[in-house]
Structure 1
Amino acid sequence: MLDDLIDSVALEVPDAPRATIRDMLSWASREFCTEADAWVTEEGPVIYGADSDYPLIVAPAGEAIRIVSLTMDGRMVTQGEGFEQRSPTEIVFSQTPSQAVISGRLACRPKRGDFPADGVLSRWGEPIADGARWRLLLLPQSWRDPELASYYQRRFLAGITDAKQQSRLGHARGGARVQMRRFV
């Protein structure tokens, strides 16, 4: 998947070295995931030591950004319903949970120089590639084109907006279907 994205960006910026394109894709994917909650994972526990004074938020992959929801005492709760996340690494519970390990949904971003899961790249690869094109076209190199960079910046930001909306809708792929009323 990554090689396909590099090839896609190289079509627009053919003189750019593949390593530079890869770096810009890494930057764009990190920025995209940070702004849009595009990479939400439900793998494994999210919090260790929840019943202690110093609970630890752990991302199974990448870096933790936000807790989307937690499963506490058999029910799903969100921010403000029993816990408050003050920073990506700090959580405060209104009441100390009975269990030490808590599962949930966690928004992540890739570590610097890394990439998100393949599912994120396959779903959001085009806006991430637009972000890489935007940054590449602003570099002081022979391929510099600020006007085209502005176009790709708008596409990148539009992709972030779309991903935010999908995130708010629970990453739903389909829309709501309304059945037409019968004409009598």
Structure 2
Amino acid sequence: MTLDDLVHQVAQDVPEAPLMTVRDTITRMARELCTEADVWVQEGEPVVVAANTDNPEIVASSGEPLRLISLQIDGRERVQGHSFYQPTPTTIELYQRPKASMLYGRLACRPAMGDIPPDEVMERWGMAIANGARWRLLMLPQPWRDFERANYYHQQYLTDVATARQNSRLGHARGGARVKARRFI
């Protein structure tokens, strides 16, 4: 789902809103969703550089870094509080100096202001972003203001954020647990 697709979807529900306002609201809600629910996670890339020095730094290949979910330190996966502490989005304090200068791991990111996340995030969470944009647009003090519909879309957005947050905590899992059914006697 592209940004233009989302703009046209949202514009159908708020036809009086200017397209640039719709576009700006969508990019704002994409950034907010990534911030709130960790829907954009970069994996398989170095996320900490200069790890074996006094000033290690967190880097993202695209977007802005938010929080480290896990790190591979000396061959073991570590989470925050066990081997490292992240005081700000771009700084990290390692409890022990690792051997490698670059550390790989899972890093939650968000798009820069005015940008959108990658296509895979837009495909999976585009409707959540659209619901948030509809909510924000319908709350603006403009002729198209509609509190009842805004409340509906706000509830939809909050549900989407909760679902996204739960999926990110489960490692972006899809589907539920598989359980063998009991035999019927």
Alignment TM-score > 0.5, same fold? yes
Question: Which SS does the other structure have where 1:80 is aligned?
Answer: coil
Amino acid aligned to 2:79: T
Amino acid aligned to 1:146: F
Question: Which SS does the other structure have where 1:177 is aligned?
Answer: coil
Gaps of at least 5 residues in structure 1 are none
User: Are 1:24 and 2:48 counterparts?
Assistant: no
Query: Which residue does 1:104 correspond to in 2?
Result: 105
Alignment partners' CA distance in 2, 1:97 and 1:73 = 6
Amino acid aligned to 1:164: R
User: Are 1:138 and 2:142 counterparts?
Assistant: no
Query: Which residue does 2:94 correspond to in 1?
Result: 93
Query: Which residue does 1:153 correspond to in 2?
Result: 154
Q: TM-score, normalised by structure 1?
A: 0.96
Alignment partners' CA distance in 2, 1:43 and 1:64 = 15
Question: Which SS does the other structure have where 1:42 is aligned?
Answer: strand
Q: TM-score, normalised by structure 2?
A: 0.96
Question: Which SS does the other structure have where 2:150 is aligned?
Answer: helix
Query: Which residue does 1:9 correspond to in 2?
Result: 10
Gaps of at least 5 residues in structure 2 are none
C-alpha contact (below 8 Å) 1:12/1:133 kept by paired residues: yes
Alignment partners' CA distance in 2, 1:53 and 1:28 = 37
How far apart are residue 143 of structure 1 and its match? 0.8
1:106-148: CA deviation from partner (whole Å, max 9, x where unpaired): 0001111110111111101111101101111111222111221
Amino acid aligned to 1:66: R
* Pairs aligned (count): 184
Alignment partners' CA distance in 2, 1:103 and 1:92 = 15
User: Are 1:171 and 2:172 counterparts?
Assistant: yes
Query: Which residue does 1:128 correspond to in 2?
Result: 129
1:19-45: CA deviation from partner (whole Å, max 9, x where unpaired): 111100001000001000011111421
Amino acid aligned to 2:117: P
Alignment partners' CA distance in 2, 1:143 and 1:43 = 45
- 1:52-91 to 2 correspondences below 5 Å: 52-91=53-92
Alignment partners' CA distance in 1, 2:153 and 2:96 = 47
C-alpha contact (below 8 Å) 1:131/1:152 kept by paired residues: yes
1:43-83: CA deviation from partner (whole Å, max 9, x where unpaired): 42100000111111001111111101111111211112211
Sequence identity (%): 54
Alignment partners' CA distance in 2, 1:146 and 1:153 = 10
Deviates more, 1:73-82 or 1:109-118: 73-82
C-alpha contact (below 8 Å) 1:50/1:102 kept by paired residues: yes
C-alpha contact (below 8 Å) 1:43/1:60 kept by paired residues: no
Amino acid aligned to 1:80: G
C-alpha contact (below 8 Å) 1:57/1:89 kept by paired residues: yes
